[in-house]
Structure 1
Amino acid sequence: MLGTAGQVPTRTRNHNGYLLRWDGRGFLFDPGEGTQRQLLLAGVPSSAVHRVFVSHFHGDHCLGLPGVLQRMSLDGVAHAVVTHYPASGQVFYDRLRHASAFADRADVRAGPVTGEGVLAEDPVGTWETRRLEHPVESFGYRLVEPDGRRMLPDRLAAAGVAGPDVGRLQRDGVLRVGERTVRLEDVSEPRPGQRFAFVMDTRLCDGVPALAEGADLLVVEATFLAQDAALAERYGHLTARQAARVAAECGVRRLVLSHFSQRYPDPRRLEEEARAEFDGDLVVAADLQRVPVPARRG
């Protein structure tokens, strides 16, 4: 959690910024002002980022992009970095991409988002996107890991499968061991893929539950308390209660609330409101906090 403030940062909360680390890949979301320094404080090099996702072009979600991308050139990041953002904001992306003079050496590739559905295939899974409702065009993002199988050591041992043969069996689905044929399903069990969802700056709309459905980890805005629901609706935001209710209805395993208005200096009020709707694993985020993705389901 690189930054958890709303539109106005505070002494303890930086503007937005979220880094998801998944099987050696790094995904940076909504880099607001100060994200480059927050990465430094978190001990994360620019080379850890493989994709950048911008939900919309309000400053608290994108004004840190120039510094992050320029740092990648300075650090000599060797791999390609894809940046996803609403295509309707292309003019803003172009300004941010070249906001100042620098030695532009990094392989940064534009990935504008034009609509809903599958956005990109990544080595760790499929990225999907849904439209949200905000005064400017905004998108939420969702990572769906493919289903797999969990190898069972006792069954592998009983079948005489060990060492490199385990990999061959996983790859081919069948293996000949002496006079016996061993099938993958004989020595493993299904392992459902995990799901991550990122929902920022939106009022309640169809896109919110579509992204949150079955998420193992949901990072979602909770800008307002329910007492200010009228303000949330007017400015295109969620209350803590609304976010928690969606999480409960969608079977979210771990709920992370962020993007808090500066008008609420005590986060316990947000937590109390959310817990009234969601009795699962709840995190009210703080800057530089590390939140583990829940272990894969059995």
Structure 2
Amino acid sequence: MSARDLIVLGSASAVPTKSRNHNGYLLRWDGQGLLFDPGEGTQRQMSLAGVSASDITWICVTHFHGDHCLGVPGIVQRIARDGVAHPVDAAFPASGARYWERLRHASVFHDTGVIRERPVSGDRAVLADGPFTLVARRLSHPVEAYGYRLEEPDGVTMLPDELAARGVRGPLVRRLQRDGRVAVDGRTVTLDECSVPRPGQKAAFVMDTRLCEGVAELADGVDLLVIESTFLGEDAALAAEYGHLTSAQAARVAADAGVRHLVLTHFSERYGTDDEHRFRDEAAAVFDGEITLVRDLDRVPLPRRRAARA
């Protein structure tokens, strides 16, 4: 299986700091590369992280505040300059189409035809349904904003002992997986007899929002939740006013949703490096699973698959 991991290209909020670039997150998934919220400087951060424009197959913008989209011109122009040949789907709130158009054509360059625009509207939209499902869900922010959820279909894990006991071997195994049944020595062997269900992996990306139904739906049962934690609990009133989450709120979402790995990011510049441990401490008081408080250029692997169900 190809790499499945998150590469953090930036983790600041509205104002970048000396140690944190504007937002940017590349989720690599079996040869696909989903670039979420490319903020200012994302193109350079990609170079530092050792990834290229050819790694990108999706650009997913949650909303059109600058720290989530000002890197779009550089990314699009790099895709064109590097001659990326495969299609690159671009998802963004339809209500911000005029901002997308300005960013997409921000300066003179030899344009590319590989960008396929996928404007999102309504409370919920399915953007892809193939090797994985990609869903956008409306969130609660002063401007229209969406979160994204990527979900692999459930599969099966084959049981070698059961296959051997029924004489299923070689090409018959693949046929059994494809068709759900095969004939062996005059007997029909079914897939259920020789396998157990294997839950598909899931990841969610939740940026600027207050607590709302959309957050809970996106986070439900995911293996990896990348979520903003702009404020500490002492500034919860500011978080509510500006449409953001605190670290403790993000952790409560993870705990209630059965998340396996909680990734905290999008930190306000009002806090210094000496405050960073407080984000983790507040989250750990609520959520007892794995927590990563990211730094720029971190690589966060998806958790190992959940065990197959007998």
Structure 1 residue 73, shift from structure 2 partner: 1.1
**What is aligned with 2:237?**
230
TM-score (norm 2): 0.93
Match of 1:255 among 254, 262, 286: 262
Structure 1 residue 268, shift from structure 2 partner: 0.5
SS of 2:107's equivalent in the other structure is coil
Q: How does 1:104-119 map to 2 (within 5 A)?
A: 104-119=111-126
Cα contact 1:216–1:252 (8 A) shared by 2 = yes
**What is aligned with 1:68?**
75
Match of 2:291 among 282, 288, 294: 282
Q: Does 1:147 align with 2:158?
A: no
C-alpha change, 1:164 and 1:69, in structure 2 (3 Å) is farther
Q: How does 1:157-176 map to 2 (within 5 A)?
A: 157-176=164-183
TM-score (norm 1): 0.96
Q: Between the two proteins, what is the percent identity of the paired residues?
A: 61
Equivalent AA in structure 1 for residue 301 of structure 2: P
The separation in 1 between residues aligned to 2:175 and 2:50, in whole angstroms, is 37
**What is aligned with 1:11?**
18
Q: Does 1:202 align with 2:209?
A: yes
Structure 1 residue 106, shift from structure 2 partner: 4.0
The separation in 1 between residues aligned to 2:299 and 2:204, in whole angstroms, is 16
The separation in 2 between residues aligned to 1:237 and 1:159, in whole angstroms, is 56
**What is aligned with 1:135?**
142
C-alpha change, 1:76 and 1:163, in structure 2 (3 Å) is farther
**RMSD of equivalent CA atoms:** 1.3
The separation in 1 between residues aligned to 2:165 and 2:85, in whole angstroms, is 45
SS of 1:181's equivalent in the other structure is strand
**What is aligned with 1:101?**
108
Match of 2:189 among 179, 182, 186: 182
SS of 1:272's equivalent in the other structure is helix
The separation in 1 between residues aligned to 2:182 and 2:158, in whole angstroms, is 14
The separation in 2 between residues aligned to 1:106 and 1:158, in whole angstroms, is 54
**What is aligned with 1:291?**
300
SS of 2:211's equivalent in the other structure is coil
Q: How does 1:48-59 map to 2 (within 5 A)?
A: 48-59=55-66
SS of 2:299's equivalent in the other structure is coil
The separation in 1 between residues aligned to 2:299 and 2:193, in whole angstroms, is 38
The separation in 2 between residues aligned to 1:76 and 1:157, in whole angstroms, is 49
Equivalent AA in structure 1 for residue 183 of structure 2: R
Equivalent AA in structure 2 for residue 3 of structure 1: G
Cα contact 1:72–1:106 (8 A) shared by 2 = no
Per-residue Cα deviation, 1:90-122 (whole angstroms, up to 9, x for no partner): 100000111111111241011000112232224
The separation in 2 between residues aligned to 1:61 and 1:247, in whole angstroms, is 23
Structure 1 residue 171, shift from structure 2 partner: 0.7
Cα contact 2:202–2:224 (8 A) shared by 1 = yes
Equivalent AA in structure 1 for residue 223 of structure 2: D
Cα contact 1:118–1:126 (8 A) shared by 2 = no
Cα contact 1:76–1:106 (8 A) shared by 2 = no
Cα contact 1:217–1:293 (8 A) shared by 2 = yes
Point out where structure 2 has 5 or more consecutive residues left out of the alignment: 1-7
**Higher alpha-carbon deviation: 126-135 or 12-21:** 126-135
Cα contact 2:118–2:127 (8 A) shared by 1 = no
Per-residue Cα deviation, 1:128-185 (whole angstroms, up to 9, x for no partner): 1221111111111111221111112232233333333322211111112333322111
Cα contact 2:90–2:117 (8 A) shared by 1 = yes
Equivalent AA in structure 1 for residue 76 of structure 2: L
